[in-house]
Structure 1
Amino acid sequence: MMRRHLSVALLLACCACAAGPGDPQEKCRAVREKVHDCLVDYCATSGDDVCRSVSTSERSLFADDAAAACAELDGRAVDDLLASDCSLVVETMRESLSGKADAPCPPYLPWCSATRGEGDGYEVRVISYDWTRATLEIVLRDLRLEGVVQGGVEYERLSIPGEGTTTTVGAPAVPVVNLLVGAPPDASAAVVTGLRTLETQSFEELLVWPYQRPARETDAAPEFARDAASYARTDPWPGGAPRVDPMAVWRNYKAVRVQLQPVRYFPAQRRLEVARRLEVEIEFRLDGSNRDVIAEGEASFAAAYDEALVNYEALRELAGPAARDGDHVRYLAIVADPLAEAVEPLLRLKEEQQLRTKRTLLGEILPERSGDPNADAQKIKDHIRAVYEAEGIEYVLLVGDVEELPMYRESVPDSWEPVVGDFWYACLAGDDLLPEVAIGRLVGKTPEEIAAQVAKITAYETGDRFAAWRQKVLLVAHRQDAPKKYTQCAESIRTAAYAAPASFVTLYGHQNHTNRELLDRIDQGVGIVNYRGHGSETAWTEWNDEDFVFGSLPSANGSLTPVVFSIACLTGRLEIEGQTLAEAMVQRPEGGAVAFLGATAPSWTLPNHDYDRHLFRAILDRGIRPIGKLSNAAAVELLTQWGFDRNAAENVKMYFWLGDPSLAVDVGLPPREPVPIGWCNTQHPQALVDRADVPAVDVFGQVWVEGLTEPPGQGPFLYVQVGYGPAGTVPVPVAGSATPAAPWVWTGAHFNLDAGNNDEYAARIRVHEPGEYSYAFRVSGDGGRTFTYCDIDGSDNGFSPDRLGRATIDPRPTLPVTNAALSWPATAATTAGAATGDLRATLALDPAAFDERLVPFVRAQIGHGPEGTLPSESADWVWSEARYQKESDGLLTYTGKLTPVDPGIRLFTFRFSQDDGATWIYADRDGSANGLALDQLGRLTVNPAP
């Protein structure tokens, strides 16, 4: 019997169709519901790749954007999908997951929204900081939900972007916020002395996903864990006070990690309470000493401090160390005696780069070997610490074979082998894992092996830092569970918004790329090769069903030597006989890699994902370029997020650099000279009709730069924006003026695809006021200092106001309200000055015209007033903002609390506005459709305070 498949091309077809006048939103919701229902039914009895790899949805609790993916769906393809049997839908999903599909991932397939980049989930504001305490305000910006089906049960996986969760296996995994707070130099401890919740929001009917047993990359998937007793509890989870870790030393500053719990879950009631804003006061315990903190190097570590310490600016103003006068040693090389001459050209280069260098022969530290690698390692560390305390060094290079210059070995629980690495050498002050110096090593037994590595490093560091190939990043991902897991991690890196541009090229194993393609990409030149997946001592294992073993195929990248991030197990396990993958790439005399970041042991999966993201954020957001400081900054971010005990800490300890720790990554550098823009245009559409605040139409522009846009992928150094202004105006300055005649608003565009020799970019124009507008693209080749403006027929014949895109922006539609009702309770009681429990109201909408993107524009308030008064007529009512909870079939639920000041009887209700309070719809118990009645308002008894 012939099996029939819905082709992925058919599933994709509806993404390209323009929205018609009928019911695209309704059909879109029907498609998503169909896919969702098919998944739930299928995964109730199956555990194959479809069920392991997909999530039913991802959305924000604060501003649900699920409908954005459906904005343009319509057409016969949707009807075909809706009419299909579930077995056919599941088979189509399997086809998409297998990588056989040539087209992009359809937006309504549930896993396609899970690869978006992540922004900051919260903001920290320093209210005050002095020698004794810090007061901080935390504003929660995002709380995300991802639907997960397990055994036919639907859970919600909660996350605050970039943060961790509670870690009790089998109990609900509730997000937490972790802060690294700078402390005075004589602080010995810190305690939380005050915690105030300033704004809360509640959500009902959420079954939160349980925390699962962590797994290393080499482990089989652990058995699903759900603790019945944890889900039966009626008290909030997590309970208890904020966690404060011991005081730590991070080179120039003291710091303490504080874990807050803004999210509380009531498992039995399936209710979530979220502190949207809270204030925390931290008191420092001072012991009068300034031990361990040094003065040197603060400026060169400032970007890392600014990223990790939430109060860095205030800390620096109050307690910033002043560097000692005079020159000091910044670079220490510890060299096996026979290799000293071979490494000398690199050390001379360091001094030319203004890194004063100290050379120490290994024989001076270890005249005799003890037979205990850790005892020898301790003597090496003692020497590093002595030079650090005397000179304030920033970098340490170890040169020699690992048998002579040992790594530190640390036993860990539940593992048959120790964690081995160089990170231990970097932690010189305090009893903590915050690193004071950056460590790298060159491995070799002979002067010739070291000389070859030194020659590559020297060529790289004296080469053209602004070469186009150095701006490119090759993202390689293992095929397992794609498009989730490793591919999802790589996509989160590629799609994140960064302060500096980078040109990403992808090779994902599930898309049937070959080892030859991987080597060809490296041979063409890339600044960074980032691999995320499984590894062994000698290979990236079965990333595309085959092992990638460097040297098994010829390669010829010559002087185009990348920095490699190998975020995988074991690829740096130097203790084996023969070459590791790290050594094979770095020790190759010509070509290969100039530096390699790898692990010595099996590493933990989820911390690896976050570590990889932190590496790129440090480069592209903070401009931290020396590789040793870059990995240290990522390690501090990971430890702050995950904590200093176990999984993340083990990962941090096992990753190390083969290479010069001061070598600078050049991805994200602005061009040395402005890149001349050869040609650009506003491609299509030439005219559009859209809606204020909730745009649904993509606009596209193209750019050509000779030598940059012709190769595959995004061309480097290009900064592309789309902008709009009043119809008939132009964004370029008029004669005799430095500014345009009319203001234009600009926003960044993202790389979309290769279009012949051009690069195509896409964006949406978000306009707040209805009206007629002109729009166009512009391109900068010098980091935004100057722009080439791009009209419809291209920039080669000038920029003409009559050749701009034309946008008609209609008013933002309002949601058609059919009823507003005070749903629960009819009566309530509280004490004067104390808050009530949650009160609830609903807003009923026409389901046929419902658009989720408009929900954030509904303003809801809860109020109370004197007996005998109507809220629509009396000025004596007191109002406060209510909170949106959920939507079901066009019914919006809101909650709020009241805190009356005086005893007595008060009436209460809710009101709703879609024009920011210009007009209101008032709710009562039998609904707004028949008008507002006194006897249908809520009744509140306010008892005197005791």
Structure 2
Amino acid sequence: MHHTQKLTLVLIISLSILCAGKASFRGKSLDELAGTSIPISFTNLVSNNYEILPSQINPQRGSYLIISPDGIAAYLDDFVEFKQSQGFDVYVSTLSETGSSASDVKLAIENKLAVDPMLEYVLLIGDVDGFAECPSFYYGPENDVTDQQYTHLVGDDVVPDVFIGRLSIDSLSDLAVIFSKTIQYARDPLAFDQNWLDRGLVVAGNYSNTYPIPITPKWTSYWLMEELMDYGYEQVDTVFYPPIQQGASYIIPIIDNGVGIVNYRGWGDANGWHYPEFHVEDVNDLNNGWLTPVFMSYVCNSNDFANSVDPCLAEAVLRGGTPTVPKGGVAFIGPSDLHTSTKYNNVINAYMYDAMLNHGVVELGPAMQAGQYGLTKEFPAQNGSGEAQEFYANVYNILGDPSLQVYLDRPKQFLIEASELTSNDGLLQLIIKDSDTGQGVDKAVLSIMADGEMLVKGVTDMSGTFIASLDVSGINSVVVYANKGGYMQGHE
């Protein structure tokens, strides 16, 4: 179990509470938002940047847009059905439909948002070249690859109007591996180890090739270790430089034993982390199977999926293993730029964990945005063109499903109670309870499906109740799926 506390980080940064921000949700005013439905993934941004009561907004599960090369579209059915079971209305667009340039794809996303304001997430499938080419943007004087410009759709700010991720693949096998990891992580994460999500790994290195040598990567990491232990983790291992430089022999067995998150601060590039060392080739030596953590790598260039080093560390982690014997991780966040700054990476690291641990922002896209937005609090003057706020809003990207709900400890389970469903009235009453406490679960996202199609979706009320009227003609049975952060997906 865990408890929530205010985060403090002595001597590293002055960590403000998230409510001080002034971000705009798609350029909307308070009057335009009051009483309307908003996508669940934007709840934190709206509630912390507008003087609005929770009762004045109506968070609902929205839609999910997949954009892929034409040759990949035939292999998406199982993943589409999985996302529907999480309550998303799912669209699939091929590059022949959107256009093959980055500007074409961005226009297609913008057009989809215009007709469906509940669009929450975009998933791009493909590397920037090769077998499954899917374009990206390039930002700044070093041409850093970025998918974030696809999300800057309304106004001239760098606050995302949708959240985006990419499955960077070089083969159909890569695609199958990533899909298998993602679905297993959501549906049955404890199948092979009941305790692995109560453990974490924090890696850091104080190194620079010029003086002064930074000391805050290790400070930040000691702080994070303590916060995770206070949250309720059973074990948080650390591998730090100094003293350890050859890190792989320490890191690999810890990951193989099972950890829910892997966090890195230090010195690196597309090949991997250098102090202590953990490189692309070391991913092949992992044997962690279905215990696939989320990697959070707040260090230069580790997520440069357009680098001549192919795969870069992020791609190697995401693609690792086979569909039946996976390895590596389920998702990876990190920057593409080679010259990021310690002081800014520290802030993004700290604010992202503040959002996850203290504010319940566990979907990967919104959590990373909360980290990036921390720069507006700690470095408010860095708000010009090319300065820190804009720069880091572009160079940090997600490889993996951007809607992935990160488990911060062992997930709870649902107990689903359903009334008898008959063809007379098609009325279905559901009560969603916590399997341990027996209490109703508020704001659980439900999807009622039959024959691989979503019939109805919705959100439970404060008592955990949801009532739906279904057209059951020609349907023999339905499956109810329940979803919420901190819970593994339930079904009945």
TM-score scaled by structure 1?
A: 0.38
Looking at structure 1, the residues matched to 122 and 136 of structure 2 have their Cα atoms a distance apart, in angstroms, of 14
Is contact 1:304-1:624 (8 Å) kept? no
Query: After the TM superposition, which residues 217-256 of structure 1 pair with which residues of structure 2 at under 5 Å, given as runs?
Result: 249-251=24-26, 253-254=28-29
The aligned amino acid for 1:647 is A
Q: Are residues 1:501 and 2:232 paired? A: yes
Looking at structure 2, the residues matched to 657 and 294 of structure 1 have their Cα atoms a distance apart, in angstroms, of 32
Q: Are residues 1:592 and 2:328 paired? A: yes
> What is residue 460 of structure 2 aligned with on the other side?
none
Looking at structure 1, the residues matched to 113 and 232 of structure 2 have their Cα atoms a distance apart, in angstroms, of 36
Change (3 A) 1:344 1:641: farther
The aligned amino acid for 1:596 is F
Is contact 1:571-1:599 (8 Å) kept? yes
Q: Are residues 1:567 and 2:293 paired? A: no
Which residue, out of 651, 655, 669, partners 2:392? 651
Which residue, out of 599, 607, 622, partners 2:359? 622
Cα offset, 1:610, TM superposition: 0.7
Change (3 A) 1:296 1:447: farther
Looking at structure 2, the residues matched to 305 and 632 of structure 1 have their Cα atoms a distance apart, in angstroms, of 13
Cα offset, 1:615, TM superposition: 1.5
Is contact 2:373-2:389 (8 Å) kept? no
Looking at structure 2, the residues matched to 489 and 564 of structure 1 have their Cα atoms a distance apart, in angstroms, of 16
Looking at structure 1, the residues matched to 34 and 303 of structure 2 have their Cα atoms a distance apart, in angstroms, of 32
> What is residue 239 of structure 1 aligned with on the other side?
none
Q: Percent identity?
A: 26
> What is residue 427 of structure 1 aligned with on the other side?
152
> What is residue 348 of structure 2 aligned with on the other side?
611
Cα offset, 1:453, TM superposition: 1.5
Cα offset, 1:507, TM superposition: 1.4
Which residue, out of 395, 405, 412, partners 1:664? 405
Structure 1 residues 795-830: Cα deviation after superposition (integer angstroms, max 9, x where no partner): xxxxxxxxxxxxxxxxxxxxxxxxxxxxxxxxxxxx
Looking at structure 2, the residues matched to 594 and 462 of structure 1 have their Cα atoms a distance apart, in angstroms, of 13
Cα offset, 1:347, TM superposition: 1.4
The aligned amino acid for 1:394 is E
Looking at structure 1, the residues matched to 29 and 42 of structure 2 have their Cα atoms a distance apart, in angstroms, of 14
Query: After the TM superposition, which residues 234-633 of structure 1 pair with which residues of structure 2 at under 5 Å, given as runs?
Result: 249-251=24-26, 253-254=28-29, 295-306=36-47, 308-309=48-49, 312=50, 314-316=51-53, 320-321=56-57, 330-366=63-99, 369=100, 376-391=101-116, 392-403=118-129, 404-412=133-141, 417-464=142-189, 467-480=194-207, 484-496=215-227, 500-503=231-234, 504-512=236-244, 514-541=247-274, 543-544=275-276, 546=277, 548-551=279-282, 554-577=285-308, 578-588=310-320, 589=322, 590-602=326-338, 603-633=340-370
> What is residue 480 of structure 2 aligned with on the other side?
none
Cα offset, 1:557, TM superposition: 0.4
Looking at structure 1, the residues matched to 108 and 151 of structure 2 have their Cα atoms a distance apart, in angstroms, of 12
Looking at structure 1, the residues matched to 196 and 258 of structure 2 have their Cα atoms a distance apart, in angstroms, of 5
Structure 2: stretches of 5+ with no match in the other structure: 415-435, 437-485, 487-492
Structure 1 residues 292-346: Cα deviation after superposition (integer angstroms, max 9, x where no partner): 999443544323444x43xx4x42379x4557xxx98511101111111223211
> What is residue 277 of structure 1 aligned with on the other side?
none
Looking at structure 1, the residues matched to 36 and 159 of structure 2 have their Cα atoms a distance apart, in angstroms, of 16
Change (3 A) 1:254 1:419: farther
Looking at structure 2, the residues matched to 343 and 332 of structure 1 have their Cα atoms a distance apart, in angstroms, of 12
Cα offset, 1:483, TM superposition: 9.1
Change (3 A) 1:435 1:501: farther
Cα offset, 1:662, TM superposition: 1.3
Which shows bigger deviation, 522-531 or 590-599? 590-599
Cα offset, 1:641, TM superposition: 3.1
Structure 1 residues 862-905: Cα deviation after superposition (integer angstroms, max 9, x where no partner): xxxxxxxxxxxxxxxxxxxxxxxxxxxxxxxxxxxxxxxxxxxx
Which residue, out of 628, 634, 637, partners 2:374? 637
Cα offset, 1:179, TM superposition: 3.5
Is contact 2:145-2:305 (8 Å) kept? no
> What is residue 162 of structure 1 aligned with on the other side?
15
- Which protein is richer in helix relative to its size? 2
Is contact 1:573-1:599 (8 Å) kept? yes
Is contact 2:127-2:168 (8 Å) kept? yes
Change (3 A) 1:420 1:295: farther
Is contact 1:551-1:584 (8 Å) kept? no
Looking at structure 1, the residues matched to 268 and 34 of structure 2 have their Cα atoms a distance apart, in angstroms, of 39
Cα offset, 1:537, TM superposition: 0.9
SS of the residue 1:250 aligns to:
coil
Structure 1 residues 554-574: Cα deviation after superposition (integer angstroms, max 9, x where no partner): 221011111100111111212
SS of the residue 1:432 aligns to:
coil
SS of the residue 1:357 aligns to:
strand
Looking at structure 2, the residues matched to 616 and 579 of structure 1 have their Cα atoms a distance apart, in angstroms, of 27
Is contact 2:38-2:58 (8 Å) kept? no
Structure 1 residues 521-543: Cα deviation after superposition (integer angstroms, max 9, x where no partner): 000011110011111111112x1
SS of the residue 1:409 aligns to:
strand
Looking at structure 2, the residues matched to 539 and 604 of structure 1 have their Cα atoms a distance apart, in angstroms, of 17
Is contact 1:473-1:528 (8 Å) kept? yes
The aligned amino acid for 1:537 is A
**CA RMSD between the two structures:** 3.4
SS of the residue 1:394 aligns to:
strand
TM-score scaled by structure 2?
A: 0.71
Change (3 A) 1:296 1:396: farther
Cα offset, 1:633, TM superposition: 2.0
Change (3 A) 1:579 1:293: farther
Cα offset, 1:494, TM superposition: 2.1
Is contact 1:342-1:448 (8 Å) kept? no
Looking at structure 1, the residues matched to 112 and 76 of structure 2 have their Cα atoms a distance apart, in angstroms, of 20
Cα offset, 1:405, TM superposition: 2.0
The aligned amino acid for 2:90 is T
Displacement over 6 Å in runs of 4+: none
Looking at structure 1, the residues matched to 247 and 312 of structure 2 have their Cα atoms a distance apart, in angstroms, of 21
Change (3 A) 1:386 1:490: same
Corresponding pairs, count: 390
The aligned amino acid for 2:167 is L
Is contact 1:178-1:640 (8 Å) kept? no
Looking at structure 1, the residues matched to 283 and 398 of structure 2 have their Cα atoms a distance apart, in angstroms, of 23
Is contact 1:596-1:658 (8 Å) kept? yes
- Which protein is richer in strand relative to its size? 1
Change (3 A) 1:597 1:328: closer
SS of the residue 2:403 aligns to:
coil
SS of the residue 1:486 aligns to:
helix
Is contact 1:567-1:599 (8 Å) kept? yes
Structure 1 residues 474-496: Cα deviation after superposition (integer angstroms, max 9, x where no partner): 10001438992210110122234
The aligned amino acid for 1:619 is M
The aligned amino acid for 1:515 is A
